[in-house]
Amino acid sequence: MQRYTHPFPPFIDEDSQLLILGSFPSIKSFEENFYYAHPKNQFWRLLSGVFDEKTPATIEEKKAFLQKHHIALWDVISSCKRQNSLDSNLKDIQPNDIEKLLQEFPNIQKIYFTSKTAQKIYEKNFLHVKLPTSYLVSPSPAYAVMNFEQKLEKWKEVL
């Protein structure tokens, strides 16, 4: 198993109010150098569905969309060993310093997780952080318990 380090910084600015945390970038996200890059991942479709807007396609469109809605993105894992993009294969996990990020960007009001793995790692390492948290149903194509429309309804309820 090879060790990987998170390839890009958090996407956040002074106006960010919501922080969405995933676990660790997929192999496709490594290649594209931005969050949720796998074409079958439903993250961008779900997020645009919540705000009833056109799904951003390019990295620049995605960044503009996030800034417009005051959303920050990062992952809970700084480095790990893995063989593929599945959360179940993540081993020897080192968390990102989420507490430091929140100190640097104090306008964050709530944290959301796009995987149960992300939520568990956060709760293990940052439970003392006093911000409300919520789980968003996984946008991963591997999470096939719900179809897109069902996921979108859950995201609208939570966000």
CATH superfamily assigned to domain 2-154: Uracil-DNA glycosylase-like domain (3.40.470.10)
Q: Which long-range contacts (CB under 8 A, 24 or more apart) does 95-99 make?
A: 95/121, 95/122, 95/125, 95/126, 96/6, 96/10, 98/21, 98/74, 98/122, 98/125, 98/126, 98/129, 99/126, 99/129
What pLDDT is attached to residue 87?
76
> The pTM is what?
0.96
What pLDDT is attached to residue 85?
79
What pLDDT is attached to residue 84?
82
Angle at the Cα of 103 from the Cα atoms of 95 and 127, rounded to 5 degrees = 50
For the chain, domain boundaries: 2-154
By annotation, the residues acting in catalysis are 41
Q: What is the pLDDT of residues 73-125, one digit of tens each?
A: 999 999 999 888 777 889 999 999 999 999 999 999 999 999 999 999 999 99
What pLDDT is attached to residue 80?
96
Task: Write down the H helix ranges in the chain.
Answer: 27-32, 43-50, 59-68, 98-104, 116-126, 148-158
Q: What is the pLDDT of residues 27-76, one digit of tens each?
A: 899 999 999 999 999 999 999 999 999 999 999 999 999 999 999 999 99
What pLDDT is attached to residue 127?
87
